[in-house]
């Protein structure tokens, strides 16, 4: 962790703690808060207090006559959360800091709008979402029908409540987006944090303008369900920025869970010999991870490839080193799963929607224009 991050922390510790609780997953607290008290019980005589009020607040524990308040405990917990936060990978620290900053911006807008209307922020929050209608039975059924590949045979009656909750949550998010979006655009603000960047070299597997100012490098596995879902997202981002963004594909087959991912990568490279990499790439993903030994010859036939040349290339594993080189580059860059994206070197782990990727692209375009 670089020292440049630390000056922000004391002023934003509470906010970053909130971001950590919302986005980090389970927090592994310093075990010394609880477990070590067992191992040191023989040397420390401690008594608990249930709500005693001492000087400085509620007493949490009395150790050899000294009262320790909840305020002191909370301060220690905050320090522990902060220490653990700073031990996260640099990219994760930045992402959480940015999330916290954007939360501050949204709160600023909400507080100002509430003040202008003469109401509390809480009252305005209720007003923004109170008119949202409950999802209808038909909307639930439509969502179920549209997402069949993701549901793996689950029956509608078994998951209808969860779908309804999901649709209700999406409606709330849209209401907030409709309220905040224009105001964020109109607000005079700049994000001053500089994201960490990873130096990666583009390969020849490029979609979009070769000289585009923004490069999205995607490390992907042909049998990864999240990679499959990310393909239309990447296509949408390329469509939004036809002159400004290029996509670079990097192979990252997860051999331990996807037995045909590496053969698929090597076969796609064999198709590249015949000028059909992206067509082969799309055809593999169109099979939704359902691959077998005959799949690559079938795809080659569908694309009108020279089957003998394709088969010879695949059999010889001509591009095994190329695929492994991509995998090694990903590992060195900190990739541990798929999909993993790098936008001009800025790491983004996990599946993202088009809006999330576009925010990073927009920030990069603004940075490039300013320079």
Tokens of 338: 């798929």
CATH number at residue 354: 3.40.30.10
Which residue segment(s) compose the domain that 305 sits in?
206-370
Cα distance between residue 80 and residue 46, in whole Å: 22
Tokens of 80: 């522990």
Is 225 domain-assigned?
yes
| Residue of 218, 222, 220, 219 lying closest to 289 (CA atoms) | 222
Is 144 domain-assigned?
no
Please tell me the total count of domains within the chain.
1
Is 139 domain-assigned?
no
Is the pTM here over 0.85, yes or no?
Answer: no
Is 337 domain-assigned?
yes
Q: Mind giving me the DSSP string for 238-279? A: HHH-TTTEEEEEEE---TTT-TTHHHHHHHHHHHHTTT-HHH
Is 292 domain-assigned?
yes
Q: For residue 224, say if its preceding peptide bond is cis, omega within 30 degrees of 0.
A: no
| Residue of 160, 135, 124, 132 lying closest to 145 (CA atoms) | 160
Is 93 domain-assigned?
no
Is 245 domain-assigned?
yes
**H or E element: which one contains 97?**
helix 90-117
Is 85 domain-assigned?
no
Q: What is the pLDDT along the chain (371 residues), one digit of tens a residue?
A: 323 333 333 333 333 333 333 222 222 223 233 333 333 333 333 333 445 554 557 888 898 888 889 988 998 898 888 888 877 777 778 888 888 999 999 999 999 999 999 999 999 999 999 989 999 999 999 999 988 877 878 999 999 999 999 999 999 999 999 999 999 989 998 888 888 888 888 889 999 999 999 999 999 999 999 999 999 999 999 999 999 999 999 999 999 999 999 999 999 999 999 999 999 999 999 988 789 889 999 999 999 999 999 999 999 999 999 999 999 999 999 899 999 999 999 998 788 899 999 999 999 999 898 87
């Amino acid at each position: 962790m670089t020292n440049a991050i630390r000056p922000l922390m004391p002023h934003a510790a509470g906010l970053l703690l909130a971001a950590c609780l919302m986005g980090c997953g389970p927090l592994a607290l310093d075990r010394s808060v609880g477990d070590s008290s067992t191992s040191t019980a023989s040397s420390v005589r401690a008594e608990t207090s249930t709500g005693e009020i001492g000087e400085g607040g509620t007493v949490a524990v009395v150790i050899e006559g000294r009262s320790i308040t909840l305020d002191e405990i909370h301060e220690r917990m905050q320090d522990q959360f902060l220490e653990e936060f700073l031990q996260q990978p640099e990219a994760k620290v930045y992402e959480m800091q940015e999330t916290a900053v954007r939360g501050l911006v949204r709160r600023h807008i909400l507080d100002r709008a509430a003040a202008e209307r003469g109401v509390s922020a809480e009252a305005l929050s209720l007003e923004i979402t109170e008119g949202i209608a409950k999802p209808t039975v038909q909307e639930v059924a439509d969502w179920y029908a549209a997402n069949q590949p993701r549901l793996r045979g689950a029956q509608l009656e078994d998951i209808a409540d969860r779908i309804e909750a999901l649709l209700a949550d999406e409606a709330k998010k849209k209401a907030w987006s409709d309220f905040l979006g224009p105001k964020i655009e109109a607000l005079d603000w700049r994000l001053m944090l500089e994201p960490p960047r990873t130096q990666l070299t583009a390969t020849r597997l490029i979609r979009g303008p070769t000289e585009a100012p923004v490069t999205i490098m995607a490390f992907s596995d042909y049998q990864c369900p999240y990679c499959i879902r990310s393909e239309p997202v990447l296509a949408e981002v390329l469509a939004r920025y036809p002159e400004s963004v290029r996509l670079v594909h990097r192979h990252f087959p997860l051999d331990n869970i996807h037995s045909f991912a590496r053969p698929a990568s090597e076969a796609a490279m064999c198709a590249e010999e015949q000028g059909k990499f992206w067509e082969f790439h799309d055809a593999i993903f169109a099979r939704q991870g359902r691959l077998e030994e005959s799949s690559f010859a079938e795809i080659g036939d569908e694309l009108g490839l020279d089957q003998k040349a394709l088969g010879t290339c695949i059999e010889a594993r001509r591009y095994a080193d190329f695929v492994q080189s991509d995998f090694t580059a990903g590992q060195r860059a900190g990739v541990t799963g798929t999909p993993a994206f790098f936008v001009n070197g800025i790491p983004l782990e996990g599946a993202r929607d088009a809006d999330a990727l576009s925010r990073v692209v927009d920030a990069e375009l603004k940075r490039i224009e300013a320079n």
